[in-house]
């Protein structure tokens, strides 16, 4: 237990230093239209390279930040850096249609978060309709009234909302009716065993059908093979992200892809 506490303290000190010294980085996971294979959006992901040169997983970074009270500081850094990079893409006229930013539940419950997001969007002169926030199902059911007010403020400004890791959290779907949700993201745990798993196929079909009836967009996460792509496309899933399409990449790589796309070139990986 003492060893774990020491590791946690070391990680906290390292993360605080990394945030203050701007040693973190933002990479992007492209999202594509499953029918046309056109890049339609990106998800911003925080990256942190350890002293040994290996990247620490985003989930571990968020976990440490939440446990040590650094989440607000880290969250503001991610929002600012991601929007700055997206503003640069817009200036280069090579920005994807939309950029998504994940928000931690602990971060979202801060009443000033909506103000910070809206102020940062205005500072970088980004159309709010080009920005999406992603929240897990659990976040939607905590502090329901306060969360609804925050989400309404953001969506009234033009920002869209997606439910991340859909299907792995809260069992009630009532929040789909009460919150201004635009998209759901099918968790990769339901994708990884396709097309072999009939159970996962039925679950994915049910999610896609429900979303279509509710006029919600559907994004499949963790698509890694052509077979998974074909199955999801055939059941009506609109969008996908994963290594089958593109790896996580930096801003300049996104610019290159959009330029190639505008030129009408076909990618060999497709």
The model's pLDDT over 34-44, given as tens digits with 9 standing for 90+, comes to 998 999 999 99
pLDDT, tens digit, 9 for 90 and up, residues 107-127: 776 668 888 999 999 999 999
- In whole angstroms, what is the distance from residue 259 CA to residue 155 CA? 30
* CA separation, residue 100 to residues 30, 171, 197 (Å): 10, 24, 30
Give dist(CA 127, CA 263) in Å, integer: 25
Q: Which residues contact 14 (CB under 8 A, 6 or more apart)?
A: none
Strand (E) or helix (H) holding 164 = strand 160-166
In the prediction, which pLDDT does 270 show? 43
Cβ count within 10 A of residue 135: 22
Most confident of 106-120, 133-147, 247-261: 247-261
Rounded to whole angstroms, how far apart are CA atoms 163 and 31?
A: 15
Q: How far is 57 from 36, CA to CA, in rounded Å? A: 31
Q: In this structure, are residues 115 and 82 in contact, taking their beta carbons and an 8 Å threshold? A: no
d(CA 45, CA 57): 10
Is the confidence at residue 5, as pLDDT, over 90? no
Asked if residues 72 and 117 have their Cβ atoms less than 8 Å apart, the reply is: no
Above 90 in pLDDT, residue 105? no
pLDDT > 70 fraction of the chain, expressed in percent and rounded: 88
Residue the block writes with tokens 């040590």? 68
Cα separation, 120 vs 44, in Å, equals 15
Amino acid 21: pLDDT: 81
pLDDT, one tens digit per residue, over 69-89 is 888 888 899 999 999 999 999
What is residue 98's predicted lDDT score, i.e. its pLDDT?
95
Q: What is the DSSP letter of 188?
A: G
| Opening angle at CA 227, ends 221 and 233, nearest 5 | 60
Residue 225 dihedral angles phi and psi, to the nearest 5°: -135, 160
Tell me which residue of 225, 220, 215 sits closest to 203, measured CA to CA: 220
Phi/psi at 31 (nearest 5 deg)? -120, 135
Enumerate domains of the chain plus CATH numbers: 2-261 (3.20.20.450)
């Amino acid at each position: 237990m003492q060893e774990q506490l020491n590791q946690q303290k070391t990680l906290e000190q390292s993360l605080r230093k990394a945030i203050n010294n701007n040693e973190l980085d933002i990479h992007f996971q492209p999202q594509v239209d499953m029918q046309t294979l056109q890049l339609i959006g990106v998800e911003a992901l925080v990256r942190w390279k350890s002293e040994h040169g290996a990247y620490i997983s985003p989930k571990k970074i968020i976990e440490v930040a939440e446990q040590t009270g650094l989440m607000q500081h880290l969250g503001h850094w991610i929002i600012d850096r991601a929007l700055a990079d997206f503003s640069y893409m817009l200036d280069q006229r090579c920005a994807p249609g939309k950029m998504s930013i994940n928000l931690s539940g602990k971060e979202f419950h801060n009443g000033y978060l909506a103000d910070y997001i809206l102020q940062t969007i205005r500072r970088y002169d980004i159309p709010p309709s080009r920005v999406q926030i992603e929240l897990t199902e659990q976040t939607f059911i905590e502090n329901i009234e306060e969360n609804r007010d925050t989400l309404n403020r953001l969506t009234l400004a033009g920002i869209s909302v997606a439910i991340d890791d859909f299907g792995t959290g809260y069992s009630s779907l009532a929040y789909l009716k009460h919150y201004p949700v635009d998209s759901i993201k099918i968790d990769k745990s339901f994708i990884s065993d396709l097309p072999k798993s009939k159970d996962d196929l039925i679950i994915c079909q049910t999610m896609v059908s429900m979303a279509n009836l509710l006029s919600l967009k559907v994004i499949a996460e963790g698509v890694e093979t052509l077979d998974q792509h074909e199955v999801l496309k055939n059941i009506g899933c609109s969008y996908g992200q994963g290594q089958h399409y593109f790896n996580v990449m930096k801003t300049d790589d996104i610019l290159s892809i959009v330029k190639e796309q505008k030129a009408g070139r076909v990618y060999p990986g497709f």
